[in-house]
Amino acid sequence: MNRRAFRFGPATTLALGIGIVVAYLQWPRWQEELQQDRAIADLRQQIAQHPGAKAPLPHSLNTIWNERQNLKLSAAQLVAVGRLRSAEGQGAAPLRHHAEEEASSFDVWMKAHRSGASLNEIHARAANYSAASATLTRVRQGYWQQGLDVLNPKQRAALASKTEVNP
């Protein structure tokens, strides 16, 4: 075996030494970033486990509209559902836009403060989106309930069996 193959030259030794020193000096920063990444992952897990997050999103009135032939809606019911769909579209659009703005604002903030944000700051920033999303969900659930009120019990049962939703 060639003994020369196992010898390090001065440049290789210097490069390895500098690499070890840099890694040693950066270790606290890496530890801090790792802790913050774990905190973000824990926060996301907490949000996912929150009872509100487990509830299915409410159906929009489009669900009823798409099933109108199967439900055999009367002319009056069609007009009522159509008006509700229009009102839902007008009422929920600004709320949906606001929730999307809050989500993108949170994403931008998180990218800018990834290594310097505390868990409390993250919670505070996420609260704005959570509030906007909860408001949108409540409004959509209200319209959904109004749409269900237009249906008779037989139609509601048929819709529930097709959509797996308890009206």
Instruction: Quickly count: other Cβ atoms within 10 Å of residue 99's Cβ.
Output: 21
Give the domain ranges of the chain: 1-55, 57-167
In 113-152, which residue ranges form alpha helices assigned H by DSSP?
Answer: 119-150
Query: Is-above-0.75 flag for pTM?
Result: no
pLDDT digits (tens, 9 = 90+) for 49-103: 665 544 454 577 888 888 888 888 899 998 999 899 888 888 888 888 888 888 8
pLDDT digits (tens, 9 = 90+) for 112-165: 877 677 778 778 878 888 888 888 888 888 888 999 999 999 988 888 887 665
Query: What length is written for the chain?
Result: 167
* Amino acid in the structure at residue 7: R
How far is Cα 122 from Cα 100, in angstroms, rounded to an integer? 17
Report the chain's terminal Cα–Cα distance, integer Å.
81
Q: Considering only the top CATH level, what class is 57-167? A: mainly alpha
